[in-house]
A and B are shown apart, each in its own frame.
Chain A
Amino acid sequence: EVRLVESGGRLVKPGGSLSLSCAASGFSFSSFSFNWVRQASGKGLEWLAAISSWGRILYADSLRGRFTITRDNAENSVFLVMNSLRAEDTAVYYCVRSEDNGGKSGDSWGQGTLVTVSS
């Protein structure tokens, strides 16, 4: 069974940093791309970053360099380091699997981890 389990979400103060993790299981991790997508309460979906199976990295322009995505194929994990957090970063953060080269997009999602940025 394909599983993605996010962790690391918590309450953090404005200006702080946070690292999210996504542990994958049930498939050949190194063969897939991974994305982080967030959703503020009652709002739509916002794509943040992607890392391909060969390590190509893409970011949404809106992040302005505050977030960093990495992967560890030996640990079957994907990470998102978030710096200079703001209240508007408060959201549920999802880890999402996708196929490289325009195959299936977003065929597996984690359950999400809640990040709250507040003083």
Chain B
Amino acid sequence: DIQMTQSPSTLSASIGDRVTITCRASQSVSGLLAWYQQKPGQAPKLLIYQASSLESGVPSRFSGSYSGTEFTLTISSLQPDDLATYYCQQYANFWTFGHGTKVEIK
């Protein structure tokens, strides 16, 4: 099974800050990595697929990148609406989710 190690588990940042969340896969997932945003009481929402492709309708302040088995979600300028938990997910071999990163506003 492919394991996904996501960090940090919690992140506190100010409005306007650049925020970075990292996910490391235990083996190659060939770029088949997605990022989701989940707000309290809601279903997850797809932000990024294939590691760096922005889902339609998602603000351009969200971006994804990767090198090898390390994947990064970046929010270029944190907004109040970005308060949420973020999950990475590999879909190269079955599906595996990271444990989530809760983003708090300072």
Contact = CB atoms under 8 A, between A and B. Distances in A.
Provide the main secondary structure of the chain B interface.
loop
Given A50-B94, A102-B32, A106-B34, A45 B44 contact: yes
Contacts of A102: 30, 32, 50, 91-92
A109 B43 contact: yes
Interface residues of B, number: 23
Given A45-B97, A47-B94, A50-B94, A106 B1 contact: no
Given A104-B49, A106-B89, A110-B43, A44 B1 contact: no
B64 interface: no
Contacts of A45: 36, 44, 87, 89, 97, 100
Contacts of B65: none
A98 interface: yes
B94 A58 contact: yes
Q: Assign chain A's interface to a size class.
A: 20 to 34
A44 B87 contact: yes
Interface string B11-41: 0000000000000000000101010100000
Interface of B: 1, 30, 32, 34, 36, 43-46, 49-50, 55, 87, 89, 91-92, 94-100
Interface of A: 35, 37, 44-47, 50, 58, 60-61, 94, 98, 102-112
